[in-house]
Copies of this chain bind each other. A is one copy, B any other.
Amino acid sequence: MQTVAIVGVGLIGGSFGLALRQAGFEGELLGVSSPPAIEAGIRSGAIDRAQTLEEAAASADLIYLAQPVDRILATIELLGPIARPGCLITDAGSTKSMIVRKASQCIGSASFLGGHPMAGKEQRGSQAAEGSLFRGRPYVLTPHAPDTPLSAKLRPWLEKMGANVVEMTPAQHDKIVAFTSHLPQLLSTALAGTLATRSSHGSVQGIPQVFGPGLLDMTRLALSSPDLWSSILATNKAEITLSIDLFLEYLNKLKNAIATDDLPPLFDTGAAFAAALRKLPFIN
């Protein structure tokens, strides 16, 4: 692997470039992004220089798509006719089924490998990029078949970056993240939105003054931008709707249990799961 092109030099794309360097990559790192992102990426060392998508498609051995999901879908269409044979295209999009389907239509499954690093920060942009962003975090790959040569090409680099690589189908990935990522995002947004609505009614004074640290935890995801989330949620509607419905079932059970003073079993189930999450070997 001599030449890597990163399309979208933001938090994830910039971190991928930095991590690749730290993992020992000595080839060239090209950036396809907006002028300010390119400038910040060159300054931090995440990329060496800018190219157009057309130039990158003609020369790169690996193209890393680190854009919002809707932009990844559009870039895949553009790449279809221009990517050179032998080039591996991968992405870091938060949903996989639609992206992988689009890629198999436009590019062919032999040269596309879906991916999703389960890493992030509140800040966006390549200013926030870190070479250690993927360390100790799950990195999902969705090869069209297990042990494909594509996965063999990318996986060792991800492992050198310290990521915990997990392989599964796009459908499995989207089912899981509906519960572990999309549902939590919607709950955080809905909580902050509820408090905003309640607060602006003026019927409760002082909401912003009286709260503990737990409210900050629970509203951190709500800081996320709709730019990113609109296309994530739009490409996983069925699974997300299911996750919301199961959540509503549990919340209604809790509501009834408050009325009947029978909370402990429902609390214990949640507490046991929360504790088990924290005992996973890769959580520090």
The reply on A151 being an interface residue by CB < 8 A is no
**Contact (Cβ within 8 A) B210 A195:** no
**Contact (Cβ within 8 A) A190 B223:** no
Which one, B190, B250, B276, contacts A270 given CB within 8 A?
B190
Which chain B residues lie closer than 8 Å to A140 at the CB level? Answer: 210
**Contact (Cβ within 8 A) A194 B221:** no
Which chain B residues lie closer than 8 Å to A212 at the CB level? Answer: 118-120, 137, 180-181
Which chain B residues lie closer than 8 Å to A283 at the CB level? Answer: 216
The reply on A255 being an interface residue by CB < 8 A is yes
Number of A positions contacting B (CB below 8 A): 94
A247 nearest CB neighbor, chain B only: B194
In the bound complex, what is the Cα–Cα distance between A237 and B138 (angstroms)?
40
**Contact (Cβ within 8 A) B187 A191:** yes
**Contact (Cβ within 8 A) A194 B250:** yes
| Mask of A9-34 contacts with B, CB within 8 angstroms, 1/0 | 00000000000000000000000000
CB distance from A35 to the nearest CB of B (A): 26
**Contact (Cβ within 8 A) B207 A269:** no
**Contact (Cβ within 8 A) A275 B179:** no
Q: Of A40-48, A71-79, A104-112, A227-235, which stretch is located at the interface?
A: A227-235
CB distance from A276 to the nearest CB of B (A): 7
In the bound complex, what is the Cα–Cα distance between A284 and B183 (angstroms)?
28
**Contact (Cβ within 8 A) B181 A219:** no
The reply on A199 being an interface residue by CB < 8 A is yes
> A206-B168, A246-B197 known; A258 and B274 CB under 8 Å?
no
A-B contact pairs, 16 of them (CB 8 A): A137-B213, A176-B207, A176-B210, A179-B194, A179-B195, A183-B194, A189-B266, A189-B267, A195-B273, A197-B269, A208-B276, A214-B220, A222-B274, A230-B264, A241-B255, A248-B248
